[in-house]
């Protein structure tokens, strides 16, 4: 028997069986190994895409929060300025009120001091008048004892009081 390329039927049959076994092996490997691997890779690809999408959403949310935070900071600066302005105005109002109260108190003190001075001046004037009356009485007593009667003495006292008068001692 002659062989083609030195092939015998046993080798051809073994090769054919090996090829069939290889196709069966590839079929089962594709069915039980490659398909689950493809499904695993596909699910992994979907999971990564989902994570990327949620990362984009989180980034957008973070940008919104950042913009809102910056706006709040701007508003906080404005609120701080308003609070400081109000505090300054209240302080100025309090200062004005305190100054006005101090002026009123100073005016009351000055008025009281003027009244006290007037009363003291009036008291001194009255004391001087009393002294003058006493002196005039003493002079009149000496003159009367010398030779004047009581009617002349009364007339002299009245004349002395008229000369002294209120305007002389108050000016």
Burial class (CB in 10 A: 0-12, 13-18, 19+), 137: middle
* Residue 91: per-residue pLDDT: 94
Question: Residue 171 in 3-state DSSP?
Answer: coil
d(CA 99, CA 139): 58
The torsion region of residue 4 among left (phi > 0), alpha (psi -120 to 50) and beta comes to beta
With 0.85 as the threshold, say if the pTM is over it. no
- The residues spanned by each domain of the chain are 9-170
How does pLDDT run across 101-140, given as a tens digit for each residue? Answer: 999 999 999 999 999 999 999 999 888 888 888 887 777 6
Lookup result for tokens 């002299």: 156
Q: Are 156 and 143 in contact (CB under 8 A)?
A: yes
């Amino acid at each position: 028997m002659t062989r083609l390329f030195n092939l015998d039927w046993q080798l051809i049959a073994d090769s054919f069986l090996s090829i069939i076994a290889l196709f069966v092996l590839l079929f089962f490997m594709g069915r039980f190994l490659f398909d689950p691997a493809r499904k695993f890779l596909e699910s992994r690809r979907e999971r990564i895409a989902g994570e990327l999408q949620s990362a984009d959403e989180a980034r957008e949310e973070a940008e919104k929060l950042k913009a809102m935070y910056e706006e709040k900071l701007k508003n906080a600066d404005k609120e701080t300025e308003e609070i400081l302005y109000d505090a300054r105005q209240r302080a100025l109002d309090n200062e004005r009120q305190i100054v006005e109260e101090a002026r009123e108190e100073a005016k009351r003190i000055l008025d009281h001091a003027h009244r006290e001075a007037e009363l003291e001046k009036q008291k001194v004037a009255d004391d001087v008048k009393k002294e003058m009356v006493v002196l005039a009485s003493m002079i009149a007593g000496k003159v009367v004892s010398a030779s004047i009667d009581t009617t002349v003495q009364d007339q002299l006292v009245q004349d002395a009081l008229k000369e002294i008068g209120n305007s002389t001692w108050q000016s």
